[in-house]
Chains A and B, each alone.
Chain A
């Protein structure tokens, strides 16, 4: 990808970042359940 304006760059990079955020929000609760499911 080539970018000529900071705005275009940000639109692209923030787009990816939003997807990462979504992934984190799904992953973290699942990981917490995995981490604690053997607790009494």
Chain B
């Protein structure tokens, strides 16, 4: 099902047509299940057909104008090294015990890089390509942390315009109706471009028809929510440098729980915290009131006690007056009067020492 250019152009028109059409609307009504852009493109890599000629690397270099490589593309000794994608190579081929694996951006259905990007510099396009906008990029490199395939690279040695680099699925060429550079040049048809949905079917057809030749697994069909690049191989994928423990949960799903707790905190924390504050304030107020009441009570009790004592004293004095002998009555009266006078003086002067009070009086005079 390798498609010719004309056929491909037909697909393209169809894809661009339906995305703006009505067909997609019904799908969008469900907000729980997203199937990706219908009729988006992808590439199937049949590892059993790959001969490790590095032609795809060369084409990629030409298309993306990546400059002269360190070692020429006809030098096949580099295949034995463990290479990854970087700013100079958007795709690399590695050899594992005679089996070749090609690495480039897999163009996830739910891209981790796009989910991670805090300036929307990555976008899943309707063609299937995950495209990067350098003009927005701050250079935080969270996309590189997020990418499960370790694909994006950074131009660390550029002081002024550093950027993230990765395969574009030759998005500009697709728009022009051309095939991606690597697909176009592949001499063995190990790379097949087409609609992703068709490629999944093709992959399973090959696996089913030659079940002794292939592992029963289409890599990329479900990995991390599915990718636009799909792989079939004759050996387990973890033996050719592809991780099989990535799971099928897409990146936005992995973070949706934590993201969902954010608005709930904003919604409930003001209520909770203001409530705690109000309770603490009320407790303070009650404590203050209780303290004030206690102080007032103490004052009241003291005053009452004093009044009582005064009354008793008065009583006693009256009694004494009544029972006193005439002489003593006079004496006592004089003494009482004198005492009262002194007391009055003392209370006028407050707590002051009587001696001081007297001297003060003298000075006043």
Contacts and interface: CB of A to CB of B under 8 A. Distances in A.
B110 A7 contact: yes
A11 B116 CA distance: 11
Contacts of B120: 11
Contacts of B263: 17, 20-21
Interface string B278-301: 000000000000000000000000
A3 interface: yes
Nearest to B31: A9
Interface residues of B, number: 33
Contact of A28 (B19, B27, B252, B271): B271
Contact of B256 (A2, A3, A10): A10
Interface string A1-28: 1111111111101100100110011001
Interface in B113-143: 114-115, 120, 124, 126
A34 interface: no
B35 interface: yes
B98 to A, nearest CB: 38
B78 to A, nearest CB: 35
B27 A2 contact: yes
A39 B259 CA distance: 38
A31 to B, nearest CB: 9
A6 B124 contact: no
Interface residue tally of chain A, by bracket?
20 to 34
A6 B274 CA distance: 36
Contact of A5 (B124, B256, B266, B271): B124
A6 B252 contact: yes
A13 B34 CA distance: 14
Contact of B266 (A8, A25, A32): A25
A23 to B, nearest CB: 10
B28 interface: yes
B109 interface: yes
B28 A4 contact: yes
Nearest to A40: B285
A29 B24 CA distance: 43
Interface string B14-39: 00000100001101100100111110
Q: Which 5 A-B pairs have the closest CB atoms?
A: A2-B28, A28-B270, A21-B266, A4-B37, A6-B34
13 contacts: A2-B28, A3-B28, A4-B27, A4-B38, A4-B124, A5-B124, A7-B110, A11-B120, A13-B31, A21-B263, A21-B267, A24-B270, A32-B274
Interface of B: 19, 24-25, 27-28, 31, 34-38, 109-111, 114-115, 120, 124, 126, 225, 250-253, 256, 259, 262-263, 266-267, 270-271, 274
Given A4-B27, A5-B34, A6-B252, 20 more contacts: A1-B28, A2-B24, A3-B28, A3-B31, A3-B34, A4-B24, A4-B124, A6-B110, A6-B253, A7-B110, A7-B111, A9-B31, A10-B115, A10-B259, A13-B31, A17-B263, A20-B263, A21-B267, A24-B266, A25-B270
